[in-house]
Chain A
Amino acid sequence: MLHSLKPSDPQAGGFCFENSRRNTVLESSLSELGYKAPNARKTGTTITGIVFKDGVILGADTRATDDMVVVDKNCLKIHYIAPSIYCCGAGVAADADVTTQIMASNVELHMLNTGRPPLIAMVIRQLKQMLFRYQGNIGASLIVGGIDVTGPQLYSVFPHGSYDKLPFLALGSGAAAAISVLEDRFKANMELEEAKQLVRDAIAAGIFCDLGSGSNVDLCVITEAGVEQLRSYDVPEVKGKREGQYRYKPGTTAVLTKTVTPLTLDVVDESVKVMDTE
């Protein structure tokens, strides 16, 4: 009856974390020698969600980083799970993406099995059971929001499998900046426009005050009437225009001397490889 809580359960297919203990030992010994182990790419991110009068609004920035380099200036962090349930992902980019895709498939199957529209509580239960089974090795921090028969709901799920149900949330590296805006201005039962502005401001705080977040603000408004995905709802940072011409015309720099040194190369070895074309 009690399903195993042990981390290293041999699973046919899926992830295998047998090497994680070896890797931690290797990482510590590598750092002693001065080398760095390769990192999983993380979306240093700001994601938020709020519950307002008619439903839920999810917001995210659009920058994906690999250490200090921006690898994607406009990536979509708001993922589809069900017609009225969407999910923002922070943490390891691949883990967040794949986990939400797995959830979307499971929800579809569950809907077909039960013949009912999905409950967000069901999505959360499946998510946290999966993440707990992997004991935090799947680095996905998610904000799941949507509407079901019981009303609008917003949950956060952490990599180790814990979850919180709250009226407003912020996750990711820019969470500290975003949560301060939300703590200041959030009120229960806000109107749509005020709520959109609040989420936009919270993400903007993350974009400006966190190095791992940037580019545009994406919003996703979920109500009884349907889902409105507002891609690039706001572009707080516009790329600057170059003021001057930085290319030098040929002839700007005068040639003073010219020396030519030919490199004499001898043929050392010549071999012919016949290509098998039959």
Chain B
Amino acid sequence: MPDFVQRVSAKNELVPEWASQEVSTGTTIMAVEYDGGVVIGADSRTTTGAYIANRVTDKLTQIHERIYCCRSGSAADTQAIADVVTYQLGFHSIELDEPPLVETAANLFKASCYRYREELTAGILVAGWDKRKGGQVYCVPIGGMLVRQPVSVGGSGSTYIYGFMDSNYKPGMTKDKCMELTATALSLAMERDGSSGGVVRLASISEEGVERRVILGNELPRFSTH
């Protein structure tokens, strides 16, 4: 945890503990590459301590026309970084007079996350489509590493679905199979992780554009244990 994070004093008994804690997107996020694009997904819960500040959060933030990022960690930190990168990438794209590369966006995220690694708590998945390499997923976890992966999960709920992901992801899946895989994985994580929940937000990014979907709580896939 960064040292500089100050907590507004909770010494006042009238103010509950959760009111003085930082807002966090304890989360489950996921991104999958397929031939021709990417599928990204996230839950929708934002918490301050044990209180849910927003139960319909949109953690899939648009950085450019065909580049999105999935945010996990501190809500304030990730919103601020995403805004900075959106500005930088927009400026760069205008200079280039061309749609930007996903790798460029990922490197901009890495630059901010690595430079201010002591002060930030941000785990980000950058995903999108560009003309050069097609659909790409880049993982920028806490600390500021950058690595490209065909499938990536992040957030506090991701620990519960590594096994599911490792055994169910196969290279060469179609877009719909990827959507189904993401929705199922997120539902499993949301079942087990207290900091993840709400609705499942999905998006698919390809040359044709961006398609967004929401799966409400009662429409989520159900499993045999309950």
Contacts and interface: CB of A to CB of B under 8 A. Distances in A.
Contacts of B16: 173, 176
B8 to A, nearest CB: 4
A2 interface: yes
A39 B13 CA distance: 11
Interface string A103-135: 000000000000000000000010011011001
For chain A, which range describes its interface: under 10, 10 to 19, 20 to 34, or 35 or more residues? Answer: 35 or more
Interface residues of B, number: 40
B8 A139 contact: yes
Contacts of A39: 9, 11-12
B76 A132 contact: yes
Contacts of A24: 6
A162 B119 contact: no
Contacts of B115: 2
B111 to A, nearest CB: 8
Select the residue from B9, B48, B111 with max chain A CB neighbours within 10 A: B9
B14 A67 contact: yes
B8 A166 contact: no
A6 to B, nearest CB: 7
Contacts of B53: 156, 158, 164
A73 B23 CA distance: 30
A156 B48 CA distance: 13
Contacts of A211: 14
Contacts of B8: 91-92, 136, 139, 159
A5 B116 contact: yes
Contacts of B9: 39-40, 139
Nearest to A92: B8
Contacts of A175: 19, 51
Contacts of A128: 76, 79-80
B126 to A, nearest CB: 17
A166 B112 CA distance: 29
Interface string B106-132: 000001100110011000000000000
B13 A37 contact: no
Select the residue from B9, B15, B77, B119 with max chain A CB neighbours within 10 A: B15
Contacts of A83: none
B56 interface: yes
Contacts of A99: none
B14 A212 contact: yes
B225 to A, nearest CB: 28
Contact of A37 (B11, B48, B112): B11
A159 to B, nearest CB: 6
B84 interface: yes
A188 interface: no
B74 interface: yes
Interface string A228-268: 00000000000000000000000000000000000000000
A66 to B, nearest CB: 9
Interface in B72-90: 74-77, 79-80, 83-84, 88
7 contacts: A2-B111, A5-B80, A5-B120, A42-B12, A161-B76, A162-B46, A176-B51
Given A128-B79, A160-B76, A173-B19, 9 more contacts: A17-B6, A20-B6, A39-B11, A42-B12, A68-B14, A135-B119, A158-B23, A164-B46, A176-B51
